[in-house]
Structure 1
Amino acid sequence: MDCLDPVQKALLDDLDAGFAELYGAHRDVVFSTALRLSGRWADAEDLTAETFLRAYRALAGYDRERVAALRTRPWLLTILMNIWRNCARARSRKPPPDLREEPVDVVDAREGVEDAAVRRETGEELAGLLALLPDEQRAAVVLRHVADLPVSEIATMLRIPQGTVKSHVSRGLKRLRALGGAR
């Protein structure tokens, strides 16, 4: 147990305090991954909250060995991906909303007006382009380039071979470039 990261040590010492550290260490990557997968700020908030809720419930039932063996970031992103897939299945039964109607960012009081406008325009454009990708390509691109996960972890999370992950990322990026140039 000497090779445990600080979050795992905290989780083993005290679930509640350790969970606060887990949340602090991974909330940004979980939220930004959720935002790029869903394309909508409110949906990303819901996905993030549900991810951490399910993680807490799962941790409450884990024994010490299982907590010690956790790779917390990929584990949380796997939970997020499962929730997102379930939402996508439910959403497929309804017509999709127009993602360009709602902004994907919030105002930062420290940021200048011009910088905020550029960031918002870029974020909306990226969200719109990502929404045009098939779900499997969007997931692979976001996990690789937003969450910065290695191909092997993405393959494990998506339950597909590494070559398929590489293919999804490559095709997704190619399609994003083509779509971005067409606008």
Structure 2
Amino acid sequence: MSRPDDPVPILDALREDLDTGFAGLYDAYRVYVHTVALRATGSPADAEDLTAETFLRAYRSLISTRPPDLDTLQPRAWLLTIALNTLRNDRRTKARKPPPGPLDNAPDRCDPTQNPARAAEQNETARELAARLALLPERQREAVVLRHVLDLPIAEIAQVLGVPEGTAKSHVSRGLAALRVHHREAVNAAR
């Protein structure tokens, strides 16, 4: 299996045999796409749908009469851009529906070797973070997730969001500042 930080073998596989290469593309990047989808939608079911739609659109693009240039393609940024654009388009068409809620209904991942108290604490922290992320404006939320959940470099975040690097940095910085404010407010309210 190829490493996502080295796309050359994946791109070579796509050139050689599109279907086999696409399976490698999916294996290498599905976790990235799903993570962004989950944090962006707040719903495990919606995240699964968005992930599937992203890879379907990517495959359709690759088999189209004008496929992306594999010599310059950056697969991770390309797929995350497709995911976020798909989500934005879907939200525009469903503007009358209420926004997705926090990850309260997300299944807890259970590690049988982990201390149950520690597992409960981690799940509660993840739910709190998801709830706070949901309070951020869309671009800030996307930038924070791309930077601090997926650990992408600013240049790639800028590419995914379709903004200059300075704007991407600003989105991350403002998102983190807003998260800190939300955290302080929650701590003060708990006192």
User: 1:111 Cα deviation (Å)?
Assistant: 5.1
**Which runs of 5 or more residues in structure 2 are unaligned?**
1-5, 187-191
Alpha-carbon distance in structure 2 between the residues aligned to 1:96 and 1:148:
26
Structure 2 residue corresponding to 1:27, chosen from 26, 30, 40: 30
User: 1:13 Cα deviation (Å)?
Assistant: 1.1
Structure 2 residue corresponding to 1:159, chosen from 142, 149, 162: 162
Relative distance call for 1:64 and 1:31 in structure 2 (3 A) is: closer
Find the counterpart in structure 2 of residue 181 from structure 1. Answer: 184
Find the counterpart in structure 2 of residue 127 from structure 1. Answer: 130
Where do residues 66-145 of structure 1 align in structure 2 (5 Å cutoff)?
66-99=69-102, 101-103=104-106, 105-108=107-110, 110=112, 112=114, 113-145=116-148
Relative distance call for 1:111 and 1:46 in structure 2 (3 A) is: farther
Q: Per the alignment, in what secondary structure is the counterpart of residue 99 of structure 2?
A: coil
**Which runs of 5 or more residues in structure 1 are unaligned?**
none
Q: Percent identity?
A: 51
User: 1:36 Cα deviation (Å)?
Assistant: 1.2
Relative distance call for 1:64 and 1:159 in structure 2 (3 A) is: closer
Deviations 1:87-136 (A, max 9, x none): 23234322224325422x44345453334322321221111011000111
Relative distance call for 1:25 and 1:95 in structure 2 (3 A) is: same
Number of aligned positions between the proteins: 180
Deviations 1:140-162 (A, max 9, x none): 11122222222222223222222
Find the counterpart in structure 1 of residue 61 from structure 2. Answer: 58
Q: TM-score, normalised by structure 2?
A: 0.83
Q: Per the alignment, in what secondary structure is the counterpart of residue 49 of structure 1?
A: helix
Q: TM-score, normalised by structure 1?
A: 0.87
State yes or no: 1:148 paired with 2:151. Answer: yes
Do 1:4 and 1:68's aligned partners in 2 also have CA atoms closer than 8 Å? no
- Cα RMSD over matched residues? 2.3
Alpha-carbon distance in structure 2 between the residues aligned to 1:134 and 1:4:
31
Alpha-carbon distance in structure 2 between the residues aligned to 1:148 and 1:62:
34
Do 1:34 and 1:48's aligned partners in 2 also have CA atoms closer than 8 Å? yes
Return structure 1 stretches of 4+ with deviation > 6 angstroms: 62-65
Deviations 1:27-61 (A, max 9, x none): 11111111111121111111111111111111112
Relative distance call for 1:133 and 1:61 in structure 2 (3 A) is: same
Relative distance call for 1:152 and 1:107 in structure 2 (3 A) is: closer
